[in-house]
């Protein structure tokens, strides 16, 4: 059995390391991440995690783990911003409100698939022009759903969350441990 991380995200690799899991291979899937017309954030996020896990080529005994993180403002999906202008628009929408960060995790072994979704409520303060401009200049928004990363400078904008911090960063470690155990990954055996 090999453990394959199907993700290009360095955060996901680091969060797995927190569980003592080191991938034998990293094979990021390349799927179309466009939402379907009128698709809601939770079904979208779960669909993407599933499609990522199905897209990774693996042997039947291998365990594949993929995830997707989506920022939802009501029914609206805020994906990864295309440029600084879109990042500014996202952060302006999120500031002064509560939103949800959904992370769906999919673990596949052969044709069996285990999934979990974790939803976290996040409150972001309204940003001043100086805060917004400094954040845009940092480029930390690049490649992040909703145009921010709670684990970096944007932590200063987030006074409150309810849910899973690791879920917001990209991989909820408690739920991931449970999925890996369900798939037969030898998590708590020191000899692997």
Enumerate binding residues for ligand TTP (CB under 6 A): 7-9, 11-12, 28, 67-69, 71, 80, 101, 143-146, 148-151, 168-170
CB 79 to ligand TTP: min, Å: 8
Of 30, 32, 62, 68, the catalytic one is 68
* Neighbouring residues of 88: CB distance < 8 A, sequence distance ≥ 6: 132, 136, 147
Question: Coil, helix or strand for 29?
Answer: coil
- The closest residue (CB) to ligand TTP is 7
Q: What is the nearest approach in angstroms of ligand TTP to the Cβ of residue 12?
A: 6
Q: How far is the CB of 69 from ligand TTP (least distance, A)?
A: 4
Pick the closest to residue 106 from 48, 27, 20, 41 (CA basis): 48
Residue closer to ligand TTP (CB basis): 52 or 109: 52
Q: Residues 6 or more apart from 118 whose CB is under 8 A from it?
A: 102, 103, 104, 105, 163, 164, 167, 172, 175
């Amino acid at each position: 059995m090999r453990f394959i991380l199907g993700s290009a995200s360095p955060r996901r690799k680091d969060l797995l390391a927190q569980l003592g899991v080191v991938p034998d291979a990293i094979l990021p899937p390349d799927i179309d991440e466009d939402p379907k017309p009128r698709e809601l954030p939770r079904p979208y996020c779960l669909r993407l995690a599933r499609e990522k896990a199905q897209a990774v080529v693996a042997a039947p005994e291998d365990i594949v783990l993929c995830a997707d993180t989506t920022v939802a403002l009501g029914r609206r999906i805020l994906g990864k911003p295309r440029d600084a202008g879109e990042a500014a628009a996202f952060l302006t929408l999120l500031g002064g409100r509560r939103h949800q960060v959904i992370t769906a995790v999919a673990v596949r072994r052969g044709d069996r698939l285990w999934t979990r979704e974790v939803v976290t409520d996040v409150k972001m303060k309204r940003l001043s022009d100086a805060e917004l401009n400094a954040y845009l200049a940092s480029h930390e928004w690049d490649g992040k759903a909703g145009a921010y990363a709670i684990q970096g400078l944007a932590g200063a904008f987030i006074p409150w969350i309810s849910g899973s911090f690791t879920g917001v960063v990209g991989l909820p470690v408690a739920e991931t441990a449970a999925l890996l155990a369900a798939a037969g990954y030898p998590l708590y055996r020191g000899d692997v």
